[in-house]
Amino acid sequence: MPHSATRARSSSPLKNFARALSTCARRGSVRTVAAALVAFTGVASAGAQDAPTTPPAPAAETAPATAPAPATAPAPVRVESVLVRGARVIVRPGHELENAAVLIQGGRIVAVGTGIEAPEGARVLEGEVVMAGIIDPWGAVGLDLASISDRTATASARAIDALDPYSQDHIREAALGAGITAVRIGIGRDGRIGGLSALVRNSPRFDRETSIVLEDASVSAAIGPQPGTDVFARLDEVDRLIAELEKGKRQLDAVVEYDKKLAEWQKAIAEKAAESEKEFKKVQRAREKEMADAKEAKKEFKEKAYKEDAKPKAPRYDADAKQLARVVTGELPLFVEVDRVQDLRALLQKTKVYPRLRLVLAGVADGRFVAEELAERRIPVIVVPARSDRGGAFDQDGFALAADLADKGVTVLFGSGGIDPDASSNLPLLAAMAVGRGLERKTALEALTTLPARILDVGHRLGSLERGKDADVLILSGDPLATTTRVRAVLLAGEVAFEGR
Amino acid sequence: MRAVERVPAAASTGRALPQPAQGRRFVHLASRTRLGDLDPASAVLPHIPKDESMIGQTFLQAPFLLALLALGTGTPEVAVDAPVTPAAESPAGAPAARELLALRADVVHLGDGRTVENGTVLIEDGRIRAVGASVDVPSGTPTVQLHGHLAPGFVLPHSSLLPIAERFDATRGFLPDAAIVHAFRPESDALSKALAAGVTTVVLAPTEGNVVGGVTGVVKTAGGRVLKRRAHLALSMSNAAVDDRRFPTSFSGLTTELRRLFTAGEGVYGEVKSGTLPVLVAARERHHVARAVDLGAEMGFKGALIGAALAGEQLDILDKSGWTVVFETPGPNINTRIQEAMADYAKSGNPFAFSYVDADGMRMATAQLLRRGVSPDAVLRALTVTGAQVAGVGGRVGQIERGFDADLVLWSGHPLELSSAPVVVYVDGKAVHRASTRPASTRPASTRPASTRPASTRAKADTKHTGANR
C-alpha cells in the first residue's frame, strides 16, 4: 500500500504536479524536478487505487468478494486474508448489518456483508459488535512532552518530528484497548501557531507506512491555552494568528504573481526562440558579423542583451509561509483551540475574509454563545466533554456541551484535549457521558468515527467499514457506547494489533 | 425542610463568642433531635483546651469557630434539621398515620448484586416494608409504575463536600474532638448536585492535612440531614499530613505521635481501640498504606484507607486484611497505572468503595473499572452496600431490603451506564429530586422534535394515583 503520508489529493494530481514543477522551476534544482516526478507518479498511483474505492456502493456490501483485492496490488503486499464476523456490524453509524462479516485482504476491506465465506487460509475473528476504529482528532499519544507546549514552534514545525514511537507503549496499548486506532497529534500549543499536526495510528510497533496516516493533517493553533490568561492577551493572540494567516495569503499572492510573470516570461522566450529559429541564418550571420567586428576593433565581444533575458525572481522560499498558504487555500484545515466567548467571536469575525479557510475549533467551552454562527458557517468543533472549567460562563456542564451544540446544528467531534496522552483512552466513555446528557447515539458514534475521518480528509480511508477502506477494525463485546463493553481485538491496516485479555 | 445557618450574621460581630454552658447545649440538642441513632454521647462539644492561652488560637480553627458561632446565636448546629418524614424514626408508634407507597420498576437492583425484574418496592412511612416480584400491596396503596432501573441511592463513605475553609484547614495537626457535622452547609449546592447524581448518603470527612482530623459524620444529601454524628475518627498518614510548618514534620514523627496517642488510649483513641469507633485513614501512596496497616495491626484498629489508588499493587498486604479501600474519583484523567491497579484490587474480591468529589468523577471512575473488566455487580455493591458498611450505616441505607430507608434512585438505564441518568431520586420514600430533560441552565431552546430525545430522558414515572409521591 504505497499510500503517501502527505496529503495527496487524488482529485488533482496534475495540479499538484504542476505546482511541484513550478516550485522546481523557481528553485531551479534538478533534484526537485525528480522529486516532483516521483510525487506525480506516487499521486497518480494513489489516485488509481482510490478510484474504485471512492463510491461506497452499499449494494456491493452484500456481494461476497470472490475476487482477490481489486487491481490494487501489483506489488507483492500482504496476501493474508482476515475475516471478521460480528453479530452486529456497524458499517457506518446508522447503517448496521446483523450476522455479517468483513473480509480483509492486503490491509484493506474488500467486502462487507452477509454470507461471506472465509477464503482458504484466512484467519477468522468473531465478536458481538464489529465497527471501524475510533479516531481522536485532538490527542497527544506518542508526542514528546516538551514539544506539545513548545512556545517556539512555527507553521512548518512538524508533529511527526516530535513523535517518539518507541516510548509510551502502555499508553498506546491502553488507547488501542479502548478502541482508539488513530490520533491527530499536534505540537506547539503555547506558540503563536502550532505547526503541522499529524494523524498517527496507534500501532504497537512503529512502521512508518502503517503508523503515519498523514504527516500534514492540519496546522494547529491555540488561543490562551493556559487557563486564566487575560482577555486582552488572548485577543492579541487572535490577532497574531490572523497575522500568520495574512503571511500565508501574501505568500500565496506572491506565488500567483510569480507564476503569472513566469508564464509571461516563458512565453516571451519561446516567441523569441521561434523567431530566431525562423530566421536562423539571418540571426547567425548578424551575430558572426558582430563577433568579427569586435575582433577587428580589438574589443571584447558582448552578447546583445534582450529584455527577455530578465527572468522573474521567485518569491523567497519560506517554509512557514508555504504551509500557511496551504491553510489559506483550504488545502490544510486549521485547528484552533479556543474556549472563551470573546476569543471565539473575535476569531470568527476575523476569519471571515478567508473564504476558503477550513476552520476547526477545539475546546469551545463557551461554544453555546456562538452556536448559530458555527452551524451557519459549517465550522466543526471538537469538544472535550470532561472539561468544563475553560469557559467564561459560570458552572457550565461540559458533558452537555456536545448535545447543546449538536441541537443547534453544529458538527461536533470528541477529542481528548491534546495535552495528556493518557486521555485518549477515555474517549468512548466521554462520548457515552455526552449521550447521557442528551446527545443522540448515532451522532455520538459519527463524532468518534466518520466525522473526524472526513474532516481530516481521510474519509476515503478511515472511519467506516466500507469496501476499499483501510482495515482499522474493532471487535467489541457489546455496544460501543456501553460502559461494560470491552474491546476484544483491534485490527490496524488488517493486522491484529491488540487482543483483549 | 428548614436549612438553618446563621453563621454569616454571627460572623459579622467579628469577635470570639462566649462559651455557652455545656448542659444547656445538651438539652437543646436533645429537644431538637429526633434521629434514632443519635445518642447523647455523640453530641460532644469540640474539645476546648483548658489552658486559657490556647483558646484564642482554638477559635482560629474554622470547624470550632463555625460550631461556636452556631451556638452563640442560640441556634442548634446547622446539621440538625427537621426530619424529612416525621414518623420515620418510630415505625412502632403512631400506627394510625401510616403512609404507604408502592413503586414498580422494570428492574430493581437490591444492592447486594441481586436484581428483580418487574419488581415492586412497598414503602411504609419512609422505610421499605417489602420488595420482590410479587409483593402483597394493601388495597388503596398509591402505586407508581416506573420505567427504568430502580437502585438504592449511592452511599459514599468519604466526600469533599465541606466548604473550602474546612477542607484546607491544617493549622493544627491534631483535632481529635472536632466534629465535622458542625462544619458543613446543609443547603450547599454540592449536596444538591450529589443528590441529583443519585448519591443519597455521604460521609463528611475533614481535611487530609490534619493527622487527626476529627470525627466524621454521615449525612443524607437531601437537605443535609444528619444520619450519624460520630461515624469515624479521621486520620491522615499521607504526604499532606506531614507539614514543615507545624508538628509533625516527618512520617516518623507522625507515626510516633499516633502510636503514643493510641497507646495512651484516651478519649477518641480509646474508642477506636475498643472498636466502637472505626477509622478512615488517608493513605495515598504505597508507603502510606503499609504504615497505616502496620500501625493498625499494632494498636488493634482497622477501617478504611482513603485514596489508596495503588492498592492493587499491594495485595500482599491488603488481601483479606479487613481494611476497605476507598478509591478517589478525581475525574476522567486517571492514569493508566492507577486504573490498572484499581481494577486489580476490585477484581481481587476485597471490599472497596468510592470517595465523592463530583458526580462526573464518580461515574467516570466506576466506568473505568467496568472497562477493565470489573463486574458491574461488584461496582454497584461498592456504591451501595460496601459504602454503607464503611460509613457505619450498613443496616439502614444502601440496600433495597425490608427495614431499610427508602432511599431509591430511578435510572433511565443500568445505573452504571454512562449514557443512563438519574430520573427520580427518592429519599425516605419521598421524591426529592426529578431530572429535567436536561439541566435548564445549559439547555438552549431545542430546534429538534421531541422524538429525537435520547433514551436517557425518555424514562418517566406514570403516576396512577394523583399525588401519590409528592
Mean pLDDT over all residues of chain B? 78
A40: pLDDT strictly greater than 80 = no
A226-239 pLDDT, tens digit per residue, is 777 889 999 999 99
B196: pLDDT strictly greater than 50 = yes
A129: pLDDT strictly greater than 90 = yes
- Which of B373, B419, B437 is closest, CB to CB, to A435? B419
Band (A7; pLDDT cuts 50, 70, 90): low
A492: pLDDT strictly greater than 70 = yes
pLDDT of residue B452: 36
Return the half-sphere exposure (C-beta side, CA atoms, 13 A cut-off) of residue A384.
29
Q: What is the mean pLDDT of residues B234-260?
A: 92
| Cell numbers describing residue B441 | 441552565
Burial of A75 (0-12, 13-18, 19+ CB in 10 A): exposed
pLDDT of residue A372: 96
Superfamily of domain B154-391 in CATH is Metal-dependent hydrolases (3.20.20.140)
A475: pLDDT strictly greater than 90 = yes
Band (A144; pLDDT cuts 50, 70, 90): confident
A66: pLDDT strictly greater than 80 = no
Record: fold of B100-153+406-466: Urease, subunit C; domain 1 (2.30.40)
Same fold for the pair B100-153+406-466 and B154-391: no
How far is it, in rounded angstroms, from Cα A85 to Cα A124?
A: 7
Reported ipTM: 0.74
Backbone angles phi and psi of A74, in degrees to 5:
-75, -30
How far is it, in rounded angstroms, from Cα A365 to Cα B294?
A: 47
pLDDT of residue A390: 79
A501 touches chain B (CB under 8 A): yes
Q: For residue A486, which residues of chain B lie inside 8 Å, CB to CB?
A: 371, 373
Q: What is the mean pLDDT of residues A154-161?
A: 91
Q: What is the mean pLDDT of residues B238-243?
A: 90
A479 touches chain B (CB under 8 A): no
pLDDT of residue A44: 39
Band (A12; pLDDT cuts 50, 70, 90): very low
B14: pLDDT strictly greater than 80 = no
Three-class HEC string of chain B? CCCCCCHHHHHCCCCCCCCCCHHHHHHHHHHHCCCCCCCHHHCCCCCCCCCHHHHHHHHCCHHHHHHHHHHHCCCCCCCCCCCCCCCCCCCCCCHHHCCEEEEEEEEEECCCCCEEEEEEEEEECCEEEEEECCCCCCCCCCEEEEEEEEEECEEECCECCCCHHHHCCCCCCECCCCEHHHCCCCCCHHHHHHHHCCEEEEEECCCCCCCEEEECEEEECCCCEEEECCCCEEEECCHHHCCCCCCCCCHHHHHHHHHHHHHHCCCHHHHHHHCCCCEEEECCCHHHHHHHHHHHHHHCCCEEEECCCCHHHCHHHHCCCCCEEEECCCCCCCCHHHHHHHHHHHHCCCCEEECECCHHHHHHHHHHHHHCCCCHHHHHHHHHHHHHHHHCCCCCCCCCCCCCECCEEEECCCCCCCCCCEEEEEECCEEEEECCCCCHHHCCCCCCCHHHCCHHHHCCEEECCCCCCC
Q: For residue A371, which residues of chain B lie inside 8 Å, CB to CB?
A: 444
Residues in B lying within 8 Å of A, measured between beta carbons: 331-333, 335-337, 339, 360, 363-364, 366-368, 370-371, 373, 376, 414, 416-421, 437-439, 441-444, 446-448, 452-454, 456-457
A367 and A381 Cβ atoms separated by less than 8 Å: yes
The DSSP-derived string for A412-450 is EEE---SS-GGGGGGHHHHHHHHHHTT--HHHHHHHHTH
Comparison of pLDDT for B18 and B308, the residue scoring more? B308
Q: What is the mean pLDDT of residues B181-205?
A: 92
> Could you tell me the CA-to-CA distances from B35 to B80, B85, B141, B219, B319 in Å, in that order?
9, 11, 27, 12, 37
Backbone angles phi and psi of B11, in degrees to 5:
-65, -25
A438/B437 Cβ within 8 A? yes
Comparison of pLDDT for A316 and A453, the residue scoring more? A453
pLDDT of residue A224: 83
Band (A114; pLDDT cuts 50, 70, 90): very high
B452/A436 Cβ within 8 A? no
A406 and A442 Cβ atoms separated by less than 8 Å: no
pLDDT of residue A190: 85
pLDDT of residue A303: 76
pLDDT of residue B98: 84
Band (B125; pLDDT cuts 50, 70, 90): very high
Which range among A188-202, A354-368, A450-464, B412-426 shows the weakest confidence by mean pLDDT? Answer: A188-202
Is residue A318 helix, strand or coil? coil
Q: How far is B368 from chain A (nearest CA, A)?
A: 8
pLDDT of residue B96: 55
Closest residue of chain B to A399, computed from CA coordinates: B360
Band (A150; pLDDT cuts 50, 70, 90): confident
B61-72 pLDDT, tens digit per residue, is 444 444 433 333
Question: What percent of chain B clears pLDDT 90, i.e. is strictly above it?
Answer: 57
Q: For residue A412, which residues of chain B lie inside 8 Å, CB to CB?
A: none
A313-371 pLDDT, tens digit per residue, is 888 889 999 999 999 999 999 999 999 999 999 999 999 999 999 999 999 999 999 99
Q: For residue A391, which residues of chain B lie inside 8 Å, CB to CB?
A: none
Best mutation target, B375, B419, B447, B457, to test chain A (most A CBs within 10 A): B419
Nearest residue to B208 via CA among B282, B268, B130, B119: B282
pLDDT of residue A127: 94
Nearest residue to A201 via CA among A193, A189, A192, A210: A210
B333: pLDDT strictly greater than 90 = no
The single residue listed with the C-alpha cell 473564504 is A355
pLDDT of residue A3: 57
How far is it, in rounded angstroms, from Cα A321 to Cα A220?
A: 14
Band (A500; pLDDT cuts 50, 70, 90): confident
CA A74-A76-A77 angle, to 5 degrees, is: 105
Which range among A36-40, A428-432, B442-446 shows the weakest confidence by mean pLDDT? Answer: B442-446
B261-285 pLDDT, tens digit per residue, is 999 999 999 999 999 999 999 999 9
Band (A4; pLDDT cuts 50, 70, 90): low
pTM reported for the whole predicted model: 0.76
Q: What is the mean pLDDT of residues A304-313?
A: 77
A483/B416 Cβ within 8 A? yes
A249-288 pLDDT, tens digit per residue, is 999 999 999 999 999 999 988 888 888 888 888 888 888 8
B431 and B467 Cβ atoms separated by less than 8 Å: no
Is residue A365 helix, strand or coil? coil
B333/A423 Cβ within 8 A? yes
Band (B311; pLDDT cuts 50, 70, 90): very high
Q: What is the mean pLDDT of residues B177-194?
A: 89
Which range among B77-86, B386-395, B458-467 shows the weakest confidence by mean pLDDT? Answer: B77-86
B91: pLDDT strictly greater than 70 = no
For chain B, domain boundaries: 100-153+406-466, 154-391
CB-defined contacts A:B, below 8 A: 109
**CB-CB neighbours of A309 under 10 Å:** 12
A341 and A285 Cβ atoms separated by less than 8 Å: no
Mean pLDDT over all residues of chain A? 84
B133-154 pLDDT, tens digit per residue, is 999 999 999 999 999 999 999 9
